[in-house]
Structure 1
């Protein structure tokens, strides 16, 4: 692998192509390799306070909420998220903004020069590259989203100022196990001794709390240490004596409450008027994001049963207003398609299914099989691609139909690209 190595003058696309082929495995769990390289290039001695954010769903929305609230107080913030929707640059933000390609090229070149013979996966390069960029900018806070699980994820090489868990559900079962207890134990691996561990999950498995107690983490549990409740246009959050009624955000209230509790625990909660302004304007790409008004069309990255349940909840609010729900679903081959579709069959009136022509993308035939297994009395139309489906669906909808395009980040990206073109 010494030939065709990009240089500091190469393009970001050249670097990304190289990163995709330099390691034989797409996923290789473990911290030894990535920690070795981080140490060699000096990424672990940082002045930034790192918030490590894990969980099955809700990492991106919780991170965006934290980012918005910290920026509103004048702090500088670096945010690392994955995967991206359209461009790689989405994965790293400084003060809410994406960076020019050269910042990523410089970071990858630093890693390539410093890693020696230690192999890195695409995600490990990305994680270390983000840490290099954050150190270069000397940001006050780093919001680091865990990629997969927690205990052996590349992000877990850092020393967190606080660790945050959003939700716990079954996903990536081949790596994390097939019970919530196993998943929770793996995710609890991001906790540290005498360090805040804020848990937003509403039904936390004992394996997570047992581990937190075992290592003496400072644990804060949703439903016990902090509370929230939803109303039609607002939600209420309480931590200790702090009780607030706030605008209902465009993200799950559970994640907003987790973010607010995290900042409160750390003594970083802004004034109430700042919180209200931030929540009222909060929007995260691909999370029930509206792309069109006529007909009304939303897109969502929901790709496991838990996120599908939340999507069904959002759609039910529109169905109660008299909207017919037309769903277009396309998913990855390694996801629980039956489990996802089953969460939405009661609220969706018309189904369209599509294949995904991408890495790990599933075929139309497999989507149809999953739908038939869930409900053989639900009629559905099939299309080769998301774009083909939208070409057929959109011209025949009326203003009392809501179209929801969902199933993966790739599905959302296909919908966004369709409207851009």
Structure 2
């Protein structure tokens, strides 16, 4: 039972978030019945003329960021919903590249609280509905929705979207989705819609993805079949059927996700030129993804939190910082594959700085030490581990902060307050 007083539209965002965190019996409650009933009664199932929903184990945020940059260059008004945030809740809803004010969030929360009646909603469900309300109020032309967990039963799946995207498939969130890649593929493909475009950016995905698309009559666009890409030195090529885009600039975000973003935009049939694509690829950025803060020493933040994302991160660090000493600040959630993630990072790590996180899902530094070299020192917080790494590294070294949104967010907030 939530004993917090019910906030009003004029209450602070902090008060609202405290209230919503304690509103429901569990933080994660997969299922659509409750959230769908509220979305339908509040007329939120179609928040914009064009909606693209993006699911995937990794790459959702960067795929949305690339589409956002291209669409903004083309002159569209664009709303993006993503989670979790790094520092402030406001980061979860962007309109035309900017976070919205506290007041707009609290007004949306008040609207949903009125609309839900006696229906109990989790924080994510409530936040999703509030985001849809904000996009509707801001009258955006295109909405990009990032799925929170899974796909089929995620709150974002109540929306009547026009294009469905799966960026990648790997085993993650084992407690909720299991460790069977075929089941995970089916859950992600649950966002696909009959007679509508369905994009899959995972090479050779489990058979359940194509099978589900076929079962419901979705129009599947599979990387390596309906579309493909090829990297050549500092340029890349994108192809779909007889249509080709040559000499594209390499984005700072993964090319695989850029290719998937271009396919999704093509399926949406929006007015976009080659110049918009080139500019969007150059402009797309996303906090916490190979984000560089300084160069003496080099400081890199990345939210990689599973073996799949850590593998890509290792490739990028090897490419961008050859023969550098790497100091790895790491803190993770205990429901992640800590052992394999650390094993994936190990080939580039010269020094480790494991830290504890806080909260019900947090892993302690001692848990991480199980998989780290003997004699490694633990730290109470990511900030403490980061400060130790900075004090012990040479100017030409690299400090890599990795392991979760919580880890990167704490270090990023510390950096911004002191620089």
Bucket of the pairwise TM-score, normalised by the shorter protein: over 0.9
The offset of 1:201, in angstroms, is 0.6
Shift of 1:381: 3.0
> How do 1:346-385 residues align onto structure 2 when only pairs under 5 Å count?
346-371=347-372, 376=373, 380-385=376-381
**1:272-291, aligned counterparts within 5 Å?**
272-291=274-293
- Ranked by relative contact order (alpha carbons within 8 Å, sequence separation 6 or more), the top structure is 2
Q: Distance in 1 between matches of 2:240 and 2:234?
A: 21
How large is the Cα RMSD of the aligned pairs? 1.5
Contact conserved, 2:74 with 2:273, CA < 8 A, in 1?
A: no
Q: How does 1:43-62 map to 2 (within 5 A)?
A: 43-62=44-63
The structure-2 alpha-carbon separation of the partners of 1:49 and 1:304, relative to structure 1 and needing over 3 Å to count, comes to same
1:226 aligns with 227
- Bigger mean CA offset, 259-268 vs 97-106: 259-268
Aligned to 1:216: 217
Q: CA, structure 1 residues 366+250, in 2 after alignment: closer, same or farther (shift >3 Å)?
A: same
User: Does the Cα contact within 8 Å between 1:300 and 1:412 map onto a contact in 2?
Assistant: yes
1:75 aligned partner: 76
Cα displacement (A) at 1:72: 0.8
Instruction: Report how far residue 231 of structure 1 moved.
Output: 3.5
Name structure 1 gaps, 5 residues minimum.
Answer: none
Give the superposition deviation at 1:382.
Answer: 2.1
Tell me the CA shift for residue 101 of structure 1: 0.8
Where does residue 14 of structure 1 map in the other structure? 15
How far apart, CA to CA, are the structure 2 residues paired with 1:335 and 1:264? 35
Please give the alpha-carbon distance, in whole angstroms, between the structure 2 residues aligned to 1:38 and 1:266: 23
Equivalence for 1:191: 192
3-state SS of paired residue (1:345): helix
| Contact 1:302–1:311, Cα closer than 8 Å, also in 2 | yes
- Which of 388, 399, 403 is the matching residue for 1:403? 399
Q: Do 1:169 and 1:180's aligned partners in 2 also have CA atoms closer than 8 Å? A: yes
Conserved 8 A contact 2:48-2:143: no
Indicate yes or no: 2:281 matched with 1:258. Answer: no
TM-score (norm 1): 0.95
Residue number in structure 2 paired with 1:330: 331
Residue 105 of structure 1 corresponds to which residue in structure 2? 106
Q: Secondary structure at the match of 2:28?
A: coil
- CA distance in 2 between counterparts of 1:3 and 1:396 reads 45
| 1:29–1:153 CA contact under 8 A, matched in 2 | yes
| Distance in 1 separating the partners of 2:276 and 2:360 | 42
Q: Distance in 2 between matches of 1:112 and 1:139?
A: 23
Q: Using the alignment, how far apart are the partners of 1:33 and 1:353 within structure 2?
A: 40
Structure 2 residue aligned with 1:42: 43
> For the residues of structure 2 that align with 1:238 and 1:221, how far apart are their CA atoms?
12
Q: Distance in 2 between matches of 1:295 and 1:116?
A: 53
Alignment of 1:45-194 (within 5 A): 45-194=46-195
Query: 1:3: Cα distance to partner?
Result: 6.3
Deviations along 1:387-410, whole A, 9 cap, x unmatched? 212222212322331110000000
Is the 8 Å Cα contact of residues 353 and 386 (structure 2) preserved in structure 1?
no
Instruction: Output the CA distance in 1 between the equivalents of 2:151 and 2:23.
Output: 24
Number of residue pairs matched by the alignment: 415
